[in-house]
Amino acid sequence: MADKHHETPMLDELENGPWPSFISGIKRLRDQHPEKRIRDVTNSLLGQLEHSYETRKGYWKGGTVSVFGYGGGIIPRFSEVASAFPESKEFHTIRVQPPAGNFYTTDMLRQLGDSWEKHGSGLVTFHGQTGNIMFIGTTSEGTQHFFDDINEYGWDLGGAGPCVRTGMSCVGAARCEQSCCSEHNIHRKLLNRFTDDVHRPALPYKFKFKVSGCPNDCQNAIERSDFAVIGTWRDDMKVDQAEVKAFVAKKGRQYVIDNVTTRCPTQAMTLNDDDTLTIDNRNCVRCMHCLNVMTKALSPGDDKGVTILIGGKRTLKIGDLMGTVVIPFMKMESEEDYDRITELGETIIDFWAENGLEHERCGEMVERIGLVNFLEGIGIDVDPNMVSSPRQSSYVRMDGWDEEAEKWFARKQEEKRARA
């Protein structure tokens, strides 16, 4: 090991302490990897990172790099201080779509690691904030070779730039009793309808799909995605009264009152004198709290489906937005249901692509044009589930009132007929 190393006194401090150290990991590549290319590139990377720690500045610049046939999927990085750290002067990240639910066999992880070692730095993250596997650090040429390699055994690039981004879904029905939909099927059905829009950035800005199997929203879909699919149910929750009694016997009445019934946001639960629960299901908002506390006694109902919220995003440019309910409930069982949800995705993306400004997220467009105009644009009727309350300001022109009221009654008639 005669390699000459950059000094890294500040990074060395991050090798102390009990939590696993990424610096020690990068140093292992620098010191122990049999291939000189990897030893050199990681040494150079550490040198540049130490320089950032000393000067408190970043030194990577973007650019344009992709693979043959695609326009995105790569985060290009060129060093601004390449003369001092030449071996990592090109250090691109390759975004690869994970399987729905983030499942892997150890064999597959090894195979991916072997491919990456051949063409890249040997550094990888499961997963980035958008949800991609991040293979961190290779040259423009290595980008193509690595992609060619893994693409042959089932892996495809994720989104980067103004395009449909890689989707995310929770562990869901694979291991969770709260799951109200087949998260992984919805995730794949949606994403793989828009494969072209993932690989060829041509939209106003990014567009994200995320799927959570229940309102606990472990996938952070409402706040972090333009198109949030959340599993829910519309019949009564299931109550196993014998298990309720067992829970009360084990934890005590006081615990159940303090931690279950009084925490219900709509006061829809009563603990009875015989230690059973009465649920006012008409007023249950499916918040999940009681089901989370009493997982054995309480379960979602049987009439399951999803709620869809549109327009969540983080700060840039107009501030953080939560998604807004656009579909209060839809079934997700038949082939037609799956077609309906992808058609909704198509309609919304098409409308936004037509009407969104450059670098404007879907939620920002909705904010600019108003929810009502957005709903008219995508052909969906207003519904009181879409608002927290009706308007407070009288400054609005309402000479279309009678027609609008008539539409409401006609819709209610139609729903009644459909139910009969």
Partner 1 sequence: MALADMRPPIESGCPDGFQYMHPVMVKNYGNWHYHEHPRPGVLLHVAHSGDKIWTVKAGTQRILDVFTLRKLCQIGDEQGEGFVRFTLRSNIEYMVADEAKVEPLIKALEDAGFVVGGTANSISTLSHTQGWLHCDIPGTDASGVVKAMMDELIDDFKNCRMPNRVHITTSCCQINCGGQGDIAINVQHTKPPKINHNLVSNVCERPSVVARCPVAAIRPAMVNGKPSLEVDEKKCICCGACYPPCPPMQINDAEHTKLAVWVGGNHSNARGKPTFQKLVAAGIPNNPPRWPEATAIVKQILKAYREGARDWERINDWIERIGWPRFFEVTGLPFTKYHVDNWRGARHSLNASTHIRF
Q: Which of residues 130-159 bind partner 1 (CB under 8 A)?
A: 136-137, 147-148, 151-152, 154-157
Q: DSSP secondary-structure letter at 235?
A: S
Nearby residues of 308 by Cβ (< 8 Å), 6 or more positions away: 227, 228, 229, 230, 325, 326, 327, 330, 341, 344
Closest approach of Cβ 123 to partner 1, in Å?
6
Question: How far is Cα 134 from Cα 128, in angstroms, rounded to an integer?
Answer: 6
Paired tokens of 218 = 């472990």
Paired tokens of 132 = 């991609």
Query: Which of the ranges 166-174, 337-345, 373-381, 395-403 carries the binding residues for partner 1, by CB under 8 A?
Result: 166-174
Residue of the chain from 14, 271, 369, 378 that contacts partner 1 (CB under 8 A): 14
Closest approach of Cβ 268 to partner 1, in Å?
12
Query: Which of the ranges 274-282, 308-316, 345-353, 394-402 carries the binding residues for partner 1, by CB under 8 A?
Result: 308-316
62 binds partner 1 (CB under 8 A): yes
Closest approach of Cβ 363 to partner 1, in Å?
13
Closer Cβ to partner 1, 93 or 344, answer by number: 93
Closest approach of Cβ 359 to partner 1, in Å?
7
Q: Are strands 92-96 and 133-138 parallel, antiparallel or unpaired?
A: antiparallel
295 binds partner 1 (CB under 8 A): yes
Question: How far is Cα 176 from Cα 44, in angstroms, rounded to an integer?
Answer: 44
Closest approach of Cβ 388 to partner 1, in Å?
8
Question: How far is Cα 304 from Cα 321, in angstroms, rounded to an integer?
Answer: 27
- Hey, is 314 helix, strand or coil? coil
CA distances from 328 to 169, 234, 350 (A): 20, 10, 21
Give how far the C-alpha of residue 153 lies from the chain's centroid of Cα atoms, to the nearest Å.
25
Residue of the chain from 224, 226, 327, 352 that contacts partner 1 (CB under 8 A): 224
Report the site for partner 1 in 167-186 (rule: CB under 8 A). Answer: 167-168, 170-171, 173-177, 179, 182, 184
Closest approach of Cβ 265 to partner 1, in Å?
6
Closer Cβ to partner 1, 322 or 371, answer by number: 322
Question: How far is Cα 333 from Cα 341, in angstroms, rounded to an integer?
Answer: 11
Query: Which of the ranges 24-32, 327-335, 375-383, 408-416 carries the binding residues for partner 1, by CB under 8 A?
Result: 24-32
Q: How many CB atoms lie within 10 A of CB 416?
A: 9
Question: How far is Cα 347 from Cα 310, in angstroms, rounded to an integer?
Answer: 12
Can you spell out the DSSP letters for 185-213? HHHHHHHHHSHHHHHS--SSS-B-EEEES
Query: Which of the ranges 283-291, 328-336, 339-347, 379-387 carries the binding residues for partner 1, by CB under 8 A?
Result: 283-291
Question: How far is Cα 203 from Cα 33, in angstroms, rounded to an integer?
Answer: 42
Closer Cβ to partner 1, 138 or 344, answer by number: 138
Closer Cβ to partner 1, 202 or 285, answer by number: 285
22 binds partner 1 (CB under 8 A): yes
Residue with tokens 């950059």: 6
Residue of the chain from 223, 275, 337, 376 that contacts partner 1 (CB under 8 A): 223
Closest approach of Cβ 378 to partner 1, in Å?
23
Report the site for partner 1 in 361-420 (rule: CB under 8 A). Answer: none
Bridge partners (DSSP) listed for residue 229: 211, 308
Query: Which of the ranges 93-101, 275-283, 347-355, 406-414 carries the binding residues for partner 1, by CB under 8 A?
Result: 93-101
Residue of the chain from 43, 44, 97, 139 that contacts partner 1 (CB under 8 A): 97
Query: Which of the ranges 23-31, 333-341, 342-350, 411-419 carries the binding residues for partner 1, by CB under 8 A?
Result: 23-31
Size, binding site for partner 1 by CB under 8 A: 129
Question: How far is Cα 318 from Cα 322, in angstroms, rounded to an integer?
Answer: 12
49 binds partner 1 (CB under 8 A): yes
Closest approach of Cβ 245 to partner 1, in Å?
16
Closest approach of Cβ 208 to partner 1, in Å?
12
The amino acid at residue 402 is D
77 binds partner 1 (CB under 8 A): yes
Closest approach of Cβ 272 to partner 1, in Å?
22
Nearest to 234 by CA among 308, 286, 280: 286
Report the site for partner 1 in 321-350 (rule: CB under 8 A). Answer: 322
The answer to whether the CB of 109 falls within 8 A of the CB of 96 is no
Q: By CB neighbour count within 10 A (0-12 exposed, 13-18 middle, 19+ buried), where does 358 fall?
A: exposed
